[in-house]
């Protein structure tokens, strides 16, 4: 079901045989709200889907926040967009009557980066997160309490866009804030491989 209210073009696809889980799909640069549907199906075919399209355009390519160069983020815009997206998730939970505590973010690249930003500054917007090819997007002034959160991070060992040390830094900050983090590395670059998805599915099934 495609919709353009609540401030974001988005898909909301209710589960046919509800397992109570809501997958919040956050695409990479140049993607849209349809991009991760197949991957979501592979991760949990029974979940309800909420998938907003990023509102910032970079040469016509949707993103969730502005960047000044590759890997250099516009922090003011990141903060504003993070808050705007958190409000969207909360408003969507009211409109579509789902429990915000059932939200599992599934983000890839730019989408994973804003999911990490949500965790660090608006953690009430999700319960769990699956972050593919992610880096630390910002360092919050005050660490949130993430003791109720579980996070799966999957990086590519040969990713030229996401420096490994920035992924490891994110893991450290999340753990310091109390989150339980499972870290996985694939023998791959920025693109996802089948094992990213298989391992995310298995992690979600047991967390």
What is the per-residue DSSP string for 14-57? Answer: --SS--S-EEEEE--TT--TTTTHHHHHHH-TTSEEEEEPP-EE
- The position carrying tokens 């197949």 is 38
- Identify whether 207 is a catalytic site residue: no
> 81, 106, 108: which is closest to 8 by C-alpha?
81
- Identify whether 159 is a catalytic site residue: yes
For residue 187, the minimal CB distance to ligand MLT (Å) is: 20
Q: Which residues bind ligand MLT (CB under 6 A)?
A: 28-29, 67, 70-71, 109-110, 113, 161
Q: How far apart are CA 184 and CA 8, in angstroms?
A: 31
- Identify whether 190 is a catalytic site residue: yes
For residue 70, the minimal CB distance to ligand MLT (Å) is: 6
Q: Determine which one of 87, 189, 190, 207 is catalytic.
A: 190
Nearer Cβ to ligand MLT (70/97): 70
For residue 186, the minimal CB distance to ligand MLT (Å) is: 16
Exposed e or buried b for every residue in 162-195, given b needs 16+ CB within 10 A?
Answer: beeeebeebbebbeebebebbeeebebebebeee
Nearer Cβ to ligand MLT (161/207): 161
**Contact at 8 Å (CB) between 56 and 63?**
yes
Nearer Cβ to ligand MLT (103/162): 162
Q: Determine which one of 93, 102, 109, 154 is catalytic.
A: 109
Determine the residue with CB nearest ligand MLT: 110
For residue 18, the minimal CB distance to ligand MLT (Å) is: 32
**Contact at 8 Å (CB) between 29 and 61?**
yes
Residues marked active site are found at 109, 159, 190
């Amino acid at each position: 079901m495609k919709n353009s209210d609540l401030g974001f073009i988005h898909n909301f696809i209710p589960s046919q045989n509800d397992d109570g889980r809501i997958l919040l799909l956050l695409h990479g640069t140049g993607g849209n709200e349809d991009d991760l549907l197949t991957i979501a199906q592979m991760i949990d075919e029974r979940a309800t889907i909420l998938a907003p399209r990023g509102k910032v355009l970079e040469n016509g390519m949707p993103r969730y926040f502005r960047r000044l160069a590759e890997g250099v983020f516009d922090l003011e815009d990141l903060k504003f967009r993070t808050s705007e997206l958190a409000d969207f998730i909360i408003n969507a939970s009211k409109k579509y009557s789902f429990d915000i505590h059932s939200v599992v973010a599934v983000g890839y690249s730019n989408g994973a980066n804003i999911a990490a930003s949500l965790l660090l500054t608006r953690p009430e917007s999700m319960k769990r997160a699956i972050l593919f090819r992610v880096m630390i997007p910002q360092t919050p002034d005050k660490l949130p309490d993430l003791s109720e959160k579980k996070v799966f991070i999957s990086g590519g060992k040969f990713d030229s866009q996401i420096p490994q040390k920035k992924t490891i830094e994110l893991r450290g900050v999340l753990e310091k804030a109390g989150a339980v983090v499972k870290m996985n590395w694939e023998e791959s670059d920025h693109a996802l491989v089948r094992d990213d998805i298989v391992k995310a599915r298995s992690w979600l099934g047991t967390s």
